[in-house]
A = this chain, B = another copy of it.
Amino acid sequence: MFFDRHRATLDAALAAIDSRGYWSAYPEAPSGKIYGETANEDAKKAFEAQIGQPFALDQSANGTVGAERSPYGFDLKIAYPRLDADPAIANALAARASLRKAGARMRVGVCLEILARLNRMSFEIAYAVMHTTGQGFVMAFQAGGPHAQDRGLEAVATAWREMMRVPAHARWEKPQGKNPALVMEKDYRIVPKGIGLAIGCATFPTWNTYPAIFANLATGNPTLVKPHPAAVLPLAITVRVARDVLKEAGLDPDAVQLVADSLYAPVAQLLARRPEVALIDYTGGPEFGAWLSANAGHATIFAEKAGTNAVVVDGTDDAKGMFQNLAFSLCLYSGQMCTTPQNIFVPASGVKTPDGPLSPESFGQKLGEAIDRLLGDPARAAEVLGAIQSHATLARIEAASRNGKVVHASAAAKHPVFADAELRTPLVMAADVGEGTLYAHEMFGPISFIVTAPDRDAALEAAFGTIARKGAITASVYSTDPAFLEKAAERAADVGVALSENLTGGVFVNQSAAFSDYHATGCNPAANASLTDAGFVAPRFHVAQVRRAAKAAVA
């Protein structure tokens, strides 16, 4: 039923992941014409009504938990059901058989219906994402809503494609010379790996978690959704929708459960250690990522951790476009993206431009000016920057600014509506390529470095060498020399990082488009998996076959 309703969407998604051209199932414009003229106002009211209230979720619970604070300066005071590890695992195990027996078609139909409903709720998701992550409203709408839904759909389509490679049945006839052939009839059943645990992050609770949730559900793995304590609401809404659709499909809603916790009584480690948990998806800091590797090796782990995203600047024929583009990349959501550039490597001899070379100092000055221009209008600045999600990031900006040479100082900014929001403009520091202790580790947030290397080749080597050791999700290069661009592309492939060349227009290195861009590669320390390639989906299911002898056909 659900499958037939959404078949056209699935087919288009399958075509898109093969061609990898532009496609999107869910409109990204936060427009009343698309989502309903009252959608925004209704969602805003729903969000405000939720503040201070228990979150209604029909699942097992003992007690409540919840201590979210909007980065825009107020407490959400929402009480979520608390679920202990033991009942969470028991419920998931109990849901496993019905989810398996439902079959790929039914499960994929359920996934598509969940995504369609989430899409209609994009304004509601937007407010939830905005007031947990600190993203500006438009970004919260797009990245938290349609773009996250597209990534979820991409995972579903990839799962469907991989599952459809397995035939339901085969007849195996092995010739035996003059004797009758050996004949076996074989049935192949798709079986899930086990229980999935999807651990969300505080900055992109939906975008980084939907691929795991939907890949798991499509392939039959009951999933525990463990949000970051600071960003529960977007995933709680998601789980509620998922459980509604599961129930309507006659399946056990415990195939998707919310396991909210607190900083004081965290549950992720308890769950990750359980042998029943076979799949762990994690986005977050490298410390917990390392803990998972050391302590949850029984499970298949898909982790996106930290990195030192790099830009190498040899030269450009559009200096203005380059600075505008870089400035926007540094400002967007105050650099709180896993794709934001951190280290900008420039040659000491200067960056080539049509107006002559720019020294590292001039380069820094022009970048600072571009930032200031972009943030000149306070309303626009607030929307681009969003709010700082965590106190740790505020402290990190402070500390970094005292450690070396400041190129562009970070300043507090005012939000036009939320007086208590913590807004910061980007900090840009200068470093020499030898000062790896300053720049060669992740400094999450609006902190970047202009790193001077002796020449462009040294800049390239420093950039990709750092990536090989510390990881990166993105790299970018500016050059008018095809040989240098090709060299950068080869080095990017060597260290396994996605590369953007000469971005000067309306596409930014931070952006990763579903169905087209592979997000992270799984080949450098920043991540061990990629959204959402076959390696992300195929290990989540296997095949249990049944075979029996059959009579050979009479010749």
Contact call B184/A507, Cβ cutoff below 8 A: yes
Q: With the chains together, A499 CA to B528 CA distance in Å?
A: 33
Cβ of A84 under 8 Å from chain B: no
Given A173-B22, A505-B549, CB of A543 within 8 Å of CB of B518: yes
Contact call B523/A191, Cβ cutoff below 8 A: yes
CB distance from A484 to the nearest CB of B (A): 13
Cβ of A120 under 8 Å from chain B: no
Cβ of A366 under 8 Å from chain B: no
Q: With the chains together, A174 CA to B27 CA distance in Å?
A: 12
Contact call B530/A543, Cβ cutoff below 8 A: yes
Docked complex: A119-175 residues within 8 A CB-CB of B: 161-162, 165-167, 170-175
Cβ of A368 under 8 Å from chain B: no
Docked complex: A169-214 residues within 8 A CB-CB of B: 170-176, 182, 184, 186-189, 191-194
Cβ of A493 under 8 Å from chain B: yes
Which of A291-299, A374-382, A455-463 lies at the interface? A291-299
Which of A39-47, A75-83, A424-432, A532-540 lies at the interface? A532-540
Cβ of A406 under 8 Å from chain B: no
Copies in the complex: 2
Which of A13-21, A51-59, A222-230, A340-348 lies at the interface? A13-21
Contact call A539/B535, Cβ cutoff below 8 A: yes
Q: Which residue of B lies closest to A175 (CB)?
A: B22
> Quick one: which of B173, B189, B528, B534 contacts A538, CB cutoff 8 A?
B534
Q: Which residues of chain B come closer than 8 Å to A549, judged between CB atoms? A: 502-505, 507
Contact call B544/A497, Cβ cutoff below 8 A: yes
Docked complex: A55-74 residues within 8 A CB-CB of B: none
Q: With the chains together, A12 CA to B96 CA distance in Å?
A: 37
Give 1 or 0 for each of A534-555: 1 = CB within 8 Å of chain B CB: 1101111111111111000000
Contact call B507/A182, Cβ cutoff below 8 A: yes
Q: With the chains together, A186 CA to B541 CA distance in Å?
A: 30
Central interface residue in A20, A300, A507, by most chain B CB within 10 Å: A20
CB distance from A274 to the nearest CB of B (A): 14
Q: Which residues of chain B come closer than 8 Å to A516, judged between CB atoms? A: 170, 172, 186
Given A507-B182, A539-B539, A542-B496, CB of A502 within 8 Å of CB of B22: no
Cβ of A100 under 8 Å from chain B: yes
Write 30 A-B pairs (CB below 8 A) sorted by A numbering: A20-B170, A20-B172, A21-B170, A22-B175, A97-B494, A100-B494, A162-B534, A170-B516, A174-B513, A182-B505, A191-B493, A292-B297, A297-B301, A300-B300, A489-B546, A493-B544, A496-B544, A497-B544, A499-B544, A499-B545, A505-B549, A507-B549, A517-B547, A518-B542, A521-B544, A522-B542, A530-B543, A535-B540, A535-B542, A537-B538
**Further 17 A-B residue pairs, CB within 8 A, beyond A499-B547, A504-B549:** A21-B172, A162-B534, A191-B496, A191-B521, A492-B544, A496-B542, A498-B547, A499-B545, A503-B549, A507-B547, A518-B542, A518-B543, A529-B539, A533-B543, A535-B540, A535-B541, A539-B539
